[in-house]
Structure 1
């Protein structure tokens, strides 16, 4: 597969994540978001582990639970607090700082090059998300802001450590380990905070199947595969496609309006993702260039 094909395949993950909002609100009304997170992560993780029939080695269990906490338990828990205390646009805009945090952490933990083009593309993407979903009269809340930033930092650190601690197993196995660990860590939190069990009908089951098998199992296999092949800087900026996908789906399916500012934000997001992928391309060495020219001749 070419690098462009790897990028396109990985981009499917955040695009599908963008459907989570509309699926949750339309098929799971009244469901606690943390309960949905458990029902999304744990069955998906167990399903992948049944497929692979591979348990993490004892030496890896600690790392798997750290990654499960960062990428799922802490991340989704913080998102729940942020969504509860902040307007959705504010929470999503604050969460869009994640690619910037990834660039800094990759530089510190992976010795990756910190390219100014990547920083500028991430800043542009952040601005595009703000134009796309941030309301001018949005109210701020200190706890909600902290929660949103904690969630972004948690996922950013989890992304970088998933590359640093990459085990010698396929992405299917790695995703199954992390989803299971993250789901298990969320179970006691749900029991402590959820007092009622909502009614489950066919529509709710269909929504949970989509969120679990497609929105978690499939997407995180694609995410960890892309992380291994493309690196954190290239993969994290694809997250800007998630709010773009959510807005487009709301426009197409629910008939929600799309303002001029939102359209401009969408264009900026697409341009920033394109620019970030160009900035993240490996730089060929002079020796490689000379070999390529000789072979071409």
Structure 2
């Protein structure tokens, strides 16, 4: 049977534009988020982490919301929708980003990025629990196991250096695992709660505003704000985080969540460490030893296994077409 070709060129052009948008969004997330590890490391040298995060996200969110309003995009939502945006923002930008900012006071930016690279493993587990009746293949399970092995290699120098529970660098590294779980949970919920009624850009703005306010409240309640040094170096890092990390990178990430499977979106987690390790070595002269090289190779291999694994669902099986027994 020959299919009609009417509209084929239009569809091809539409697909080409969509493909370009996807590639561009991935490129923005890969590079700018890889560089934010370095910027966060610089920003928290003199500025408390929660204050830095709160300032960053509140400024980014308010300006983005104003921009959306000027462009005529929807900015008012129902209480339930506002609640979902706030929950996603807090999981991503407090549970995920604030944890990272605190950890980078004790952990090198490159190592932090490598530990965060386990995020796709959380994605696989949470996808199966929250987005349907998924079955994780043997390949996916092998990737999960390999990821744990890679983390052991990365953290082995710290595990070997102390048998106590007070080693700051070790516990900061472990906290990054909790932060990566929070980030994955927020991302999966953002996809689960996606609605055609919600503009993704204004939703992103509200998420950043909610997270910025939560971070500032945390800063007021916990951090010592009496000895703050707003250095040119620190402020420049915050400006970079606002523009490149929040406005550009975070918006591209939220857009990708609405157009690409989360398992593919999560590939940023094994590209960002490459950028972060290189910039940390180039700018901050951070060490790159055999454990980091070996551990990063194992973690990246595990993530590739996970993201390339087949994940089947009952719904997908139910939607398979019946097998035809007749010829063409």
Same fold (TM over 0.5): yes
* Structure 2 residue corresponding to 1:114, chosen from 136, 148, 159: 136
Please report how far the alpha carbon of residue 130 of structure 1 lies from its aligned counterpart in structure 2 after TM superposition: 5.9
1:150 aligns with 2:178: yes
Largest Rg, 1 or 2? 2
Residues 37-52 of structure 1 mapped to structure 2, 5 A cutoff: 37-52=53-68
Alpha-carbon contact 2:109-2:276 (below 8 Å) kept: no
1:13 aligns with 2:29: yes
Match of 2:235 in 1: 205
Structure 1: gaps spanning 5 or more residues: none
Alpha-carbon contact 2:150-2:298 (below 8 Å) kept: yes
Deviations 1:154-174 (A, max 9, x none): 212101100000132443223
Deviations 1:103-154 (A, max 9, x none): 1221111114533334434554565566567635454747657644432222
State the secondary structure of the residue aligned to 1:135.
Answer: helix
State the secondary structure of the residue aligned to 1:55.
Answer: coil
Give the alignment's TM-score, normalised by structure 2: 0.71
Deviations 1:183-204 (A, max 9, x none): 1111111112232253334433
Structure 2: gaps spanning 5 or more residues: 1-15
Residues 1-297 of structure 1 mapped to structure 2, 5 A cutoff: 1=16, 6=22, 9-10=25-26, 12-26=28-42, 29-53=45-69, 54-58=74-78, 59-80=80-101, 82-83=103-104, 95-111=116-132, 112-124=134-146, 127-128=149-150, 135=157, 137=160, 139=162, 141=165, 144=172, 147-168=175-196, 169-192=198-221, 193-196=223-226, 198-268=228-298, 271-279=301-309
In 1, the alpha carbon distance for the partners of 2:274 and 2:156 equals: 12
Classify 1:234/1:45 alpha carbon distance in 2 versus 1 (closer, same or farther; 3 Å). Answer: same
In 1, the alpha carbon distance for the partners of 2:157 and 2:138 equals: 29
In 1, the alpha carbon distance for the partners of 2:48 and 2:269 equals: 24
Bigger drift between 203-212 and 42-51 goes to 203-212
State the secondary structure of the residue aligned to 2:157.
Answer: coil
State the secondary structure of the residue aligned to 1:19.
Answer: helix
Deviations 1:203-241 (A, max 9, x none): 333221111111112111111112122222222342233
Alpha-carbon contact 1:102-1:156 (below 8 Å) kept: yes
- Structure with the bigger percentage of helix: 1
State the secondary structure of the residue aligned to 2:272.
Answer: helix
Give the alignment's TM-score, normalised by structure 1: 0.78
State the secondary structure of the residue aligned to 1:211.
Answer: helix
In 1, the alpha carbon distance for the partners of 2:138 and 2:23 equals: 21
Aligned length: 291
Classify 1:38/1:238 alpha carbon distance in 2 versus 1 (closer, same or farther; 3 Å). Answer: same
Alpha-carbon contact 1:42-1:182 (below 8 Å) kept: yes
Classify 1:275/1:86 alpha carbon distance in 2 versus 1 (closer, same or farther; 3 Å). Answer: closer
For the aligned residue pairs, the C-alpha RMSD in angstroms reads 3.8
In 1, the alpha carbon distance for the partners of 2:165 and 2:34 equals: 24
In 2, the alpha carbon distance for the partners of 1:89 and 1:74 equals: 20
